Amino acid sequence: MTVGVVVPAAGAGIRLGPGSPKALRVLAGEPLLVHAVRRLRACPSIGPVVVAAPPAAVAEVVALLAAYAVTVVPGGAERQDSVAAALAALPAEVELVLVHDAARALVPVEVVEAVVSALRDGADAVVPVLPVADTVKQVGVGGEVLGTVPREDLRLVQTPQGFRREVLEAAHRAAPGSLTDDAGLVEAAGVTVHTVLGSAEAFKVTTPFDLLVAEAVLARG
Ligand code: CTP
Ligand code: MG
């Protein structure tokens, strides 16, 4: 079964502070998006890749990724719009789809392959997860603690998230909106979402501190 990847990369990167869109911010000499796509291309299972680029930077992204055989489409206003636009551009032969945030630029090949394996083993949907290290509390509107949430039951969810194509497309058709996570759409449709072990290196670059961490990870090699 052919595995395709859609890469939402059209976000502004507001939490990174002023500058170019996040996917184009430079990390160790190259844009985040180039790091992300290179890692995807290093995965033996991966076929077609479609990137949803910032609409004003489509030509720039096409040029940056010329060596990686990807299709580039303009992204949308919300992440989910960007995912839908990229999904629509995947070739017909793609039966298994991964959705991978450009912002998770340092995802290890092993995490991608673990997601693909779970799909090949028959899962409709699969997400990489990590245990929660911190104690988690629920707070009220005034900031007062309402209770402690047992963290043993909680997981932090990463990407790539993998789906049988028809399951993801049906969920998108059923729930146009703006969830931050594709598995959430599929859950809402009643589909069981499986988990595999993620990686600390698949963290999402969100703040300037995360760029420092990413530089350190790359420097370590
Ligand atoms: N994304 C997208 N289209 C959007 C919004 C987000 O393709 N309209 C992508 C981002 O480029 C990123 C991923 O979705 O790869 C996860 O989003 P996030 O980390 O929130 O990135 P930004 O939206 O760019 O950051 P911020 O929320 O700080 O502006
Ligand atoms: Mg965002």
Q: Kindly give the distance from the C-alpha atom of residue 159 to the centroid of ligand 2, in angstroms, as a whole number.
A: 14
Q: Which residues contact 173 (CB under 8 A, 6 or more apart)?
A: none
Alpha carbon of 82 to ligand 2 centroid (Å): 11
In the reported structure, the alpha carbon of residue 145 is separated from the centroid of ligand 1 by a whole-number distance in angstroms of: 30
Angle between helices 165-174 and 79-88 (to 10 degrees): 130
Every domain of the chain and the residues it spans: 2-220
- Give me the half-sphere count of Cα atoms (radius 13 Å) on the Cβ side of residue 216: 9
Residues around ion ligand 2, judged by CB within 5 A, are 11
Task: Give the pocket of ligand 1 (CB within 6 Å).
Answer: 8-15, 22-23, 52, 75-79, 82, 101-103, 204, 206
- pLDDT of 14 reads 97
Going by alpha carbons, the residue nearest to atom 6 of ligand 1 is 11
C-alpha pair distances (Å), 61 with each of 9, 37, 52, 211? 10, 11, 9, 20
Ligand nearest to the CA of 23: 1
Q: Closest-lying ligand to the alpha carbon of 78?
A: 1
- Of 100, 128, 120, 126, give the one whose Cα is nearest residue 5: 100
> Is 49 in contact with 71 (CB distance < 8 Å)?
yes
pLDDT (tens digit per residue) in 94-108: 999 999 999 999 999
CA 13 to ligand 2 center in whole angstroms: 7
Handedness of CA 33, 38, 112, 55 (dihedral sign): positive
CATH superfamily of 2-220: Spore Coat Polysaccharide Biosynthesis Protein SpsA; Chain A (3.90.550.10)
Q: Are 119 and 126 in contact (CB under 8 A)?
A: yes
Burial of 40 (0-12, 13-18, 19+ CB in 10 A): buried
Which of the listed residues 82, 107, 156, 178 should we mutate to test ligand 1's pocket, taking the one with most ligand atoms within 8 A of CB?
82
- Return the ligand 1 atom nearest residue 9 CA: 11
- What percentage of the chain carries pLDDT values higher than 90? 94
Tell me, in angstroms, the distance from the centre of ligand 2 to residue 200's CA. 20
Q: How confident is the model at residue 16 (pLDDT cuts 50, 70, 90)?
A: very high
Q: Ligand 2 centre from 208 Cα, in Å?
A: 14
Indicate the helix (H) or strand (E) that contains 27. Answer: strand 26-27
Q: What is the pLDDT of residues 65-99, one digit of tens each?
A: 999 999 999 999 999 999 999 999 999 999 999 99
- For residue range 155-211, what is the model confidence (pLDDT) as tens digits? 999 999 999 999 999 999 887 666 678 999 999 889 999 999 999 999 999 999 999
Give which of 122, 118, 104, 71 is closest to 181, Cα–Cα. Answer: 104
Smallest Cα–Cα separation from 62: which of 37, 87, 98?
37
